[in-house]
Structure 1
Amino acid sequence: MRDDAVARAAAVRLMIFDVDGILTDGSLHYGPAGEVIKTFNVLDGHGIKLLQQSGVATAIISARKSEIVARRAADLGIRHVHQGVHDKRVAFEQLLAETGTAADDCGFVGDDVIDLPILMRVKFAASVPNAHPEVKSRVHYVTAAGGGRGAARELCDFILRAQGSYDAAIAPYLE
């Protein structure tokens, strides 16, 4: 973790997630009809919900297109979903325009070199332990948990703590 990671996370108003390798473990399961399974972590999902409830908007930008991702995003209330975008810069610019958000108000978590154009523009860049070395060397925060194994939850909790809203986010569960 870089020294300025907490301050950078405190500035996040829109957190953007890659899918494969971040919200999933990166495995692709194919059957005779094509892609049939993606596995998501419930802790990650709840972390995203807590982030949203604290006022941080969420979005997905993924190079792959999957109905499974669209369903998961709908389940989590993620309104901004850009899939099947191989030049993620284009989707990022569209997202900024859609939301009226500046790059300095965004965080992004990705794991491969295709994610670098966004990771290098946002205020808070994060990744996972098994990310490509070029990515890990350029981000502000690398999670301890792996993609699809609690990384998104860890990241959401980190942002909530940096913004001073973690205690309020979990308070309803402590009563």
Structure 2
Amino acid sequence: MSKARAKKIKVILFDVDGVLTDGTIWIVPSHGRGGPVDAKALEAVADQGGYSISSPDFTESKGFHAHDGTGITLARLAGLKTGLITKRMSQVVALRARDLKIDHVYQGQADKLSAMEKIAAAEGVKPAEIAFLGDDIVDLPVMRKCGLAMAVKNSRPEVLKEAHYVTPSKGGEGAARDAVEYILRAQGRLKKIVDAYVESRPAAQKSSV
């Protein structure tokens, strides 16, 4: 049944903490490079029920897995739209999203379902054509409405119970790659997209010389 759902997917969305990362949040000194706190930005995040580290002396850091980055690139090559929906707000997530050319980034979102609905409207797709990968109970409203609800291996029990698909890998250890490959495999396109990725590498390297 989950494979039938995966065949319809046109958009794949991810939570960040515990999905693209292992859930660890590092608070590290900014060494004077933190800059002033943007009160208006913090107020906007708070209005949406989100939160972020707000200090000129400390900054938030996270670790991302390279396999997930390649997985998101494969999704893009396949024509799938990608997006992040997270309750926290941090510059490192914005930078990672930019580097991976992620189409939609919603930070500071307590109401993740509303963010999903905005993405669906922007892309002109139905909820049945959206997949979401989460790990905690804040993700359940989206998982209950999207076409393919996915959970990382070490998700909370309530989340695992409602997932159509559970990744073999834990969050931050290649789970997003698992999710992308599962969808592309169900659509019969994985090998073709992997071959296209491999063939594009020499051209990319040559153009950068």
User: Shift of the alpha carbon at 1:102?
Assistant: 1.2
Which structure 1 residue ranges, 4+ long, deviate > 4 Å from structure 2? none
| 8 Å contact from structure 2 (residues 153, 170) kept in 1 | yes
2:18 matches 1:21: yes
Which residue pairs with 2:190 in the alignment? 166
Amino acid at match of 2:138: I
Which residue pairs with 1:77 in the alignment? 101
RMSD: 1.4
Which residue pairs with 2:3 in the alignment? 6
Q: When the two structures are superposed, what TM-score results if normalisation uses the length of structure 2? A: 0.79
- More deviation, 30-39/153-162: 30-39
Supply the distance in 1 between the matched residues of 2:195 and 2:113 (Cα, whole angstroms).
38
Percent identical residues: 41
Supply the distance in 2 between the matched residues of 1:95 and 1:170 (Cα, whole angstroms).
27
- More deviation, 35-44/57-66: 35-44
Structure 2 residues without counterparts, runs of 5 or longer: 30-56, 201-209
1:147 to 171, 176, 181: 171
| 8 Å contact from structure 1 (residues 128, 143) kept in 2 | yes
Bigger relative CO (Cα 8 Å, ≥ 6 apart): 1
2:34 matches 1:37: no
User: Shift of the alpha carbon at 1:174?
Assistant: 7.2
Provide the secondary structure at the position in 2 that maps to 1:145.
Answer: coil
2:138 to 96, 114, 126: 114
Provide the secondary structure at the position in 2 that maps to 1:19.
Answer: coil
Provide the secondary structure at the position in 2 that maps to 1:120.
Answer: helix
Amino acid at match of 2:21: T
Provide the secondary structure at the position in 1 that maps to 2:162.
Answer: coil
User: Shift of the alpha carbon at 1:96?
Assistant: 1.6
TM-superposition CA deviations, 1:97-116 (whole Å, max 9, x none): 22222101100001111100
Between structure 1 and structure 2, the one with the greater Rg is 2
TM-superposition CA deviations, 1:78-104 (whole Å, max 9, x none): 021000011112212221222222101
TM-superposition CA deviations, 1:109-167 (whole Å, max 9, x none): 01111100000001101011211111100010111101110101111111110111111
